[in-house]
Amino acid sequence: MSPAEQSLLAARPDLAAVAQWVARGARVLDLGCGDGSLLRYLWQAREAPGYGVEIEDDSVIACVKNDVNVLQLDLESGLSLFRDGTFDCVILSETLQTIHRTEQLLREMLRVGREAIVSFPNFGHWAARLQVLFGRMPVSEALPYQWYETPNVHMCTLADFEDLCRRLGIRIRERLVLHQGRSVGLLPNLLGSHAVYRCTAQ
Site residues for other proteins per CB under 8 A: 51, 57-58, 60-61, 63-65, 67, 69-73, 80-83, 86
Complex with other proteins: residue 80 or 146, whichever CB lies closer: 80
Neighbours of 43 (CB within 10 A): 18
- Min. distance of Cβ 81 from other proteins in angstroms? 5
CB of 65 to other proteins, least distance (A): 4
Q: Which is nearer to other proteins, 51 or 197 (CB)?
A: 51
Q: Which is nearer to other proteins, 67 or 103 (CB)?
A: 67
Please, what is the minimum distance in Å from the beta carbon of residue 86 to other proteins? 7
The CA distance from 11 to 42, in Å, is 16
Residue 113, strand partner residues: 87
What is the Cα–Cα distance from 60 to 6, expressed in whole angstroms? 23
Q: Which residues contact 179 (CB under 8 A, 6 or more apart)?
A: 125, 191, 192, 193, 194
User: Nearer to other proteins by C-beta: 71 or 172?
Assistant: 71
Say what the alpha-carbon torsion angle 196, 45, 71, 32 is, to the nearest 10 degrees. Answer: 20
Q: Is 175 exposed, middle or buried (0-12, 13-18, 19+ CB in 10 A)?
A: middle
Q: How far is the CB of 172 from other proteins (least distance, A)?
A: 28
